[in-house]
Amino acid sequence: MRTIHSLSLAAASFLLLLGVGNDVVAQSTGTFRQYQFAAGEDGHDLVLRELTTPVAGPNEVLVRVRATSLNRRDIYILNSDPGQRDNLAGSIPLSDGAGEVIDVGQDVTRFKIGDRVAGTFFSEWTDGQRTAAGLASARGGGGSSGMLSEIVVTHQDGLVTIPEHLSYEEAATLPCAAVTAWVGLFKNGNLEPDEYVLLEGTGGVSTFGLQLAAAAGARPIITSSSNDKLARARDLGAVGTVNYRENEDWQLKVRELTGGDGVDHVLEIGGRETLSKAIEALAFEGHIALIGGLTGEAPPIPVGSLVGSGATASGIYVGSRADFEAMNDFITKHQMRPVVDRVFSFDEAPAAFEFMQNGSYMGKIVIRH
């Protein structure tokens, strides 16, 4: 695991030893704690620093972050070559976080002190089609500030109000994985009730896809190498499950579960080892959302197979603030609650990275601040 350094102020450390909460420390010393990336020998290190509390400028909002969550992307970034990503030094990890507004700057109209909010994955993609500038504003990767900090300051346009029934820990899971699943199924896939949906594995995107599809009245089918996870998936609404370790040609089992017709939607996250099988499982006029490459870079899509079946494929890279807000309306309507596998404390953040990289989990991993 990456080296963790701590550069805390003596006064704050003394108060913490006395058992005083972090909020009181911040108020007493005018400081807060924040993790940052630093170049390491074989990737990046996480450095814990103590900084002076910022002031919200015009159109800016100061947020006391209460929880953050991890995505597979965060592991790739942590392990990336510093020579290829020198813009990471000093930037804040993690794209996903939720908290409460503690100050607003001049001209802020969207939020007030006390509002419960989450950061959008792209701080500058509010609506419409993606743009180069919008994509460059992805949080947690050097292009824009991340969320693994007790306090963040951000433009008001880079926040959304979180559903009232969700805790901060639950809301912190939404910005990347949930929006990705939502866009793949509803915005690009036009999901309808009774349609079959294939989810690969039980990570964040697939688990959210399962929950969203089930809430919409669709028929989710999910794969995993763990029978225990498949049992839990059935409790969450899966109408069919396949253990891909026990079924090497799992796509045939998936088609069998649909009566031979194939699935109408696929959230394709596997890449090299799953794409061709996912296409085999696809129904006529089906849609495959291309999201990731957990097993390696995906091979070229066999265009002929799509032409013959009338199927379509679209590339998904999370979504806009408007997509996030539409999803939140759906989550509120259906009172949906994200699946949180494990919660770490802020001081245990490095262990959360290690758990995601090496552990077995379902749904999301959260850090409570």
Q: What is the mean pLDDT of residues 143-172?
A: 95
Domain count, the chain: 2
- Residue corresponding to tokens 């909020």: 23
Asked if residue 331 is part of any domain, the answer here is no
What is the residue whose two structure tokens read 């596998």?
Answer: 341
Give a yes or no: residue 46 inside a domain.
Answer: yes
Distance of CA 160 to the CA centre of its chain: 15
The closest of 102, 62, 69 to 175, measured between CA atoms, is: 69
Same structural domain, 55 and 166:
yes
31 and 130 housed in the same domain: yes
Q: What percent of the chain is modeled with pLDDT above 90? A: 79
In a domain, 291, yes or no: yes
Closest among 165, 178, 171 to 97, alpha carbons compared: 171
**Inter-residue contact 299 to 272 (CB < 8 Å):** yes
Residue 152, beta-bridge partner list:
63
Evaluate whether 169 touches 160 at the Cβ level (below 8 Å).
no
Residue 180 domain flag: no
| Residue 332, domain member (yes or no) | no
**Tokens of residue 239, six digits:** 């109408």
Strands 263-268, 282-290: pairing kind? parallel
Query: What size, in residues, is the chain?
Result: 369
Query: Are residue 283 and residue 343 in the same domain, yes or no?
Result: no
> Angle formed by the axes of helices 10-17 and 22-29, to 10°?
150
**Of 35-44, 76-85, 127-136, 206-215, which gets the smallest average pLDDT?**
76-85
Tokens 């959304």 locate to 160
Residues 167 and 42 in one domain: yes
199-230: pLDDT as tens digits: 999 999 999 999 999 999 999 999 999 999 99
Q: What strands lie across the sheet with 4-7, from one edge to the other?
A: 4-7, 44-52, 31-39
Within-domain flag for 201: yes
Could you list the residue range(s) of the whole structural domain that residue 293 is in? 189-315
- The residues pairing with 268 across neighbouring beta strands, listed in sequence order, are 290
Do residues 28 and 64 both lie within one domain? yes
Per DSSP, the residues of 218-258 read -EEEEEES-HHHHHHHHHTT-SEEEETTT-TTHHHHHHHHT
Residues 303 and 158 occupy one common structural domain: no
Q: Are residues 9 and 154 in the same domain?
A: yes
Question: Mean pLDDT over all residues of the chain?
Answer: 89
Q: Helix, strand, coil proportions of the chain in percent (round to 5)?
A: 35, 30, 40
Do residues 235 and 139 share a domain? Answer: no
Same domain, 168 and 21: yes
CA 119 to each of CA 39, 308, 358: distance values in angstroms, whole numbers, following the listed order: 26, 42, 27
Say which CATH number the domain at 311 has.
3.40.50.720
Indicate the pTM of the whole model: 0.90
Give the pLDDT confidence of 263-317 residue by residue, as tens digits.
Answer: 999 999 977 678 989 999 999 999 999 997 555 565 667 676 777 889 999 999 9
Q: Do 303 and 227 belong together in one domain?
A: yes
The CATH number of the domain where 150 resides is what? 3.90.180.10
Mean pLDDT, to the nearest integer, of 146-161? 98
CB atoms within 10 A of CB 354: 15
Per-residue pLDDT at 2 exceeds 80: no
Residue 145 CA to residue 61 CA, distance in Å, equals 13
Check residue 9 and report its DSSP letter.
-
Is residue 147 a part of any domain in this protein?
yes
State residue 300's pLDDT score: 67
- Output the pLDDT for position 16: 32
Classify residue 170: in a domain, yes or no: yes
- Asked whether the beta carbons of 367 and 347 are under 8 A apart, the reply is no
Q: What residues have CB less than 8 Å from 125, skipping those under 6 apart?
A: 131, 134, 135, 137, 319, 320, 321
- The H or E element that residue 22 is part of is helix 22-29
